[in-house]
Structure 1
Amino acid sequence: MGETEQAPPGVDITVPSPARIYDYILGGTANYEVDRQAAEKVRQAMPDMVDTAWANRGFLQRSVRWLAEQGVRQFIDVGAGLPTGNNTHDAVQAVAPDARILYADFDPIVEMHAKELLKDVPGTACITADFRDPDSVLEHPETRAMIDFTEPVALLLVTVTHFVSDEDDPWGLIQQYMDRLVPGSYLALSAVTSDRQMEGAVDDLKKVFAKSSSGGAYPRSRAEIASFFTGLDIVPPYKGAPAEVCYFGEWGAEDPVAADSEGSRWGYCAVARKPA
């Protein structure tokens, strides 16, 4: 797509969108010149951005497959982004064809593309809703029709919280979501970190996203990301590992050493269970 093409109604192509930037990084086509320019600025700050994006994508795919293997049959993927190869429902329904997956994103273009992709896929739906407003996600009619909140749910927050400022309290928001899910539910979360990165690179990254529809980016420390899981039981990310957050590529990896790339070290992730 290019900016000479007409944007769908309700889609602003004068401001870069995190969902469309991510789509471009992963090789998708649902992006515009403003997004490609922003992505190239991200590349200057983060030369390993493609490796980072695919390491994060790998975490999503491995974690939801693992969750399906544990018997989870309901998934709410908040900040889902634009559909690309091997989406959440592809990975989940390969294990559990009866599983239900609700996608949510605050960018309306995501729902537009997802509805076309999902029209013949049973057990899936997509809504436009903002993570920062839990009711917009959890009380949406599509959500209430699809998700049985008396049964365990996997809440997926994959590269979402680093677009939420401290003032908007992502920790408190996550608590609100998890409070409304029954014991045995899970949180799968990944987030970009400021650890080990050059201060200038982090500042440049923040500048790019300050001009995007997200309004900013907030990479956080390992301790800050780990605190998203307060009150939950973190699952060991691979055999023999301690039950704690790890780098993107390590989670579920058969060879964690080989998976520990420079791109992978741009973020931490974990899967955690809500105890009884």
Structure 2
Amino acid sequence: MIFGARRDVRVMGRGPEWMRSRSSAPVELHTDRPHAARVYDYLLGGKTNYAADREAARRTLQSLPNAALVARQNRAFMHRAARYLAEAAGVRQFLDIGTGIPTQPNLHEVVQAVAPRSRIVYADNDPIVLTHSRALHTSHPAGRTAYVHGDLCQPEDILGNPELTRTLDLDQPVALTLVAVLHWLPKECDPYEIVARLLDALPSGSFLALTHATNDFERKALEQIAEDFQRTGSTVNTRSKAEIAEFFTGLELVEPGIEVVHRWRPDAGDIEAESLSPTDVPLYGAVARKG
């Protein structure tokens, strides 16, 4: 869980579970077994988790004592990036893909505190996330939030979703946020192509903000983590700083460029971030503008 909640970015097929997530019928939450998004919620101090999730989190912490710290710093990056985009960059539209279970404050709460009229679309394909998001994503009355059930490996389906096009004006700048999601993509999905296709649909003046697990340090430990996730059916693709930089080809990076997340524009007085070394959090983060 040190890389954020596992993002089920592939559409689940056309079986009963998928149909339940698209209808008004209840979604089976499977509270008797751990769910990655709820484990992440627990690590963040959230309340949307159950006994099985908490036990899985405790096992993770035994193997990786800094797991909760990594989760917090990843989340803190999202908050700082969102504030920068709303305050300094003046962005009023956001598309967050791979949102996970809402944990306050969520992206829309951060940006609408700056600009209440902001519009935010969340996208994920996990029916459990869908259920919680519908209940917890409440917009400021001056703005709007929406939730799109979609597959990151099929970005055009997200971009063309009627709920998205009713909420966002794709002729105006949009901040695309991909926080701790790209490293979960299965190997048959090309993350560089996917990001390029999403950005191609957005106009000049739009932004890309992302975090991504890196193998630049603690390589052996990260390889073990990847093997552990592989046994559960999940793929973790860590990348070097140079490989992560490829996502920003043709974009103008915002200072300080690509940094470990706790060193990207840290808040003054953030004692935890100030105490960390560059290798304590194996995640890079960056924000960049499309010219």
TM superposition score normalised by structure 2:
0.81
> Is the aligned partner of 1:265 residue 2:281?
yes
Partner of 1:5: none
Describe the superposition over 1:178-220 as per-residue Cα deviations: whole angstroms up to 9, x where unpaired.
0110010000000111221141x2133223432557x221122
Per-residue deviation, 1:44: 4.1
Per-residue deviation, 1:37: 4.4
Q: Give the distance between the partners of 1:273 and 1:94, measured in 2 at CA.
A: 22
Is there any run of 5+ residues in structure 1 with no aligned partner, and where? Answer: 1-7, 238-243
Describe the superposition over 1:154-192 as per-residue Cα deviations: whole angstroms up to 9, x where unpaired.
000000011014431111100010011001000000011
Matched residue of 2:281: which SS?
A: helix
Q: Give the distance between the partners of 2:163 and 2:50, measured in 1 at CA.
A: 29
Between 256-265 and 57-66, the greater mean CA deviation after superposition: 256-265
> Is the aligned partner of 1:105 residue 2:121?
no
Matched residue of 1:224: which SS?
A: helix
In structure 2, relative to structure 1, the CA distance for the partners of 1:25 and 1:135 (3 Å cut) is same
Within a 5 Å distance, the mapping from 1:233-272 to structure 2 comes to 233-237=252-256, 244-254=257-267, 258=274, 260-261=276-277, 265-272=281-288
Per-residue deviation, 1:45: 4.3
Partner of 2:176: 155
In structure 2, relative to structure 1, the CA distance for the partners of 1:141 and 1:222 (3 Å cut) is same
Matched residue of 2:131: which SS?
A: helix
1:47 to 65, 82, 94: 65
Q: Give the distance between the partners of 1:175 and 1:168, measured in 2 at CA.
A: 13
In structure 2, relative to structure 1, the CA distance for the partners of 1:41 and 1:228 (3 Å cut) is farther
Describe the superposition over 1:209-253 as per-residue Cα deviations: whole angstroms up to 9, x where unpaired.
32557x22112211111211111111003xxxxxx2001111121
Between 164-173 and 141-150, the greater mean CA deviation after superposition: 164-173
Between 218-227 and 76-85, the greater mean CA deviation after superposition: 218-227
> Is the aligned partner of 1:204 residue 2:224?
yes
Q: Give the distance between the partners of 2:56 and 2:192, measured in 1 at CA.
A: 28
Matched residue of 1:167: which SS?
A: coil
**Are 2:116 and 2:140, in contact at CA under 8 Å, matched by a contact in 1?**
no
> Is the aligned partner of 1:23 residue 2:36?
no
**Are 1:17 and 1:212, in contact at CA under 8 Å, matched by a contact in 2?**
no
Q: Percent identity, please.
A: 42
> Is the aligned partner of 1:187 residue 2:205?
no
Per-residue deviation, 1:119: 4.5
Matched residue of 1:151: which SS?
A: coil
Partner of 2:91: 72
TM superposition score normalised by structure 1:
0.85
* Counterpart residue type for residue 281 of structure 2: R
Partner of 1:230: 249
Is there any run of 5+ residues in structure 2 with no aligned partner, and where? Answer: 1-25
RMSD between superposed Cα atoms in Å: 2.3
Q: Give the distance between the partners of 1:212 and 1:121, measured in 2 at CA.
A: 38
Q: Give the distance between the partners of 1:266 and 1:248, measured in 2 at CA.
A: 8
Per-residue deviation, 1:41: 4.2
* Counterpart residue type for residue 176 of structure 2: L
Describe the superposition over 1:42-86 as per-residue Cα deviations: whole angstroms up to 9, x where unpaired.
334432111111111111001111101111000001111111121
Partner of 1:58: 76
Q: Give the distance between the partners of 2:288 and 2:139, measured in 1 at CA.
A: 32
Per-residue deviation, 1:36: 3.6
* Counterpart residue type for residue 27 of structure 1: G
User: How many residues end up aligned between the 2 structures?
Assistant: 260
**Are 2:260 and 2:278, in contact at CA under 8 Å, matched by a contact in 1?**
no
> Is the aligned partner of 1:93 residue 2:112?
yes
Q: Give the distance between the partners of 1:228 and 1:45, measured in 2 at CA.
A: 31
Matched residue of 1:168: which SS?
A: coil
* Counterpart residue type for residue 286 of structure 2: A
**Are 2:108 and 2:139, in contact at CA under 8 Å, matched by a contact in 1?**
no
Describe the superposition over 1:120-152 as per-residue Cα deviations: whole angstroms up to 9, x where unpaired.
644111222121110232111110110100000
**Are 2:217 and 2:279, in contact at CA under 8 Å, matched by a contact in 1?**
no
List 4+ stretches of structure 1 deviating above 6 A.
Answer: none
Matched residue of 2:83: which SS?
A: helix
